[in-house]
A and B are shown apart, each in its own frame.
Chain A
Amino acid sequence: MSTWIAACQTDDIDPEDVIPFQHEGVGYAIYRSPEDDFYATAGHCTHERMLLCDGLVMDNTIECPKHNGRFDYTTGRADGAPVLVDLPTYPVRVEDGTVFIGIG
């Protein structure tokens, strides 16, 4: 069972971009795709735990700002070295302009 947490408003994020979100000491990254769909992943890279929100979003990819490891943020899939471990993802729901993420 997920708990739904209001993370941000839809227009807090530019299309094809990412923002950070904190909840109970845990970091998340919330994405808006070029098609205006919303996604959420863990906030830190699986390589050396850098904050992903400083990285570049291109299409469905987030590039880690530190060593350019890449993930598909819609699935969490790591694209290969230096990132070898997939990124946890979280379900997202949008209601009346608010983005909710499901955690737990």
Chain B
Amino acid sequence: MAKTKPKKPGAKTGLLLRLYVAGNAPNSLRAVANATAICEEYLTARYELEVIDLLKHPNRALADGIIVTPTLLRLRPLPVQRVIGNLSDTNQVLLTLAGQ
């Protein structure tokens, strides 16, 4: 799976998201689709969405403290926020992304 999918490349100030998935597992595929859709539909500001395959990069997952996939991390702005699961609950995803 592609490492990064910068929607608006070069931005260092926008929203930084990182989605951990496990290969082509069903919930992972769903999570990627949901994340992309939510970003395109709701995020007007600049954002960057990085998708990382746990199976290829287990150490990065460990470094990010990932226990299960799919997990979506909001790395910027701080504090780091996490959404766990396949991201089918759009409201919850948006709430977390907007969280302080």
| A and B held together in a complex | no
Give B contacts to A, CB under 8 Å.
none
Residue positions of A touching B, CB distance < 8 A: none
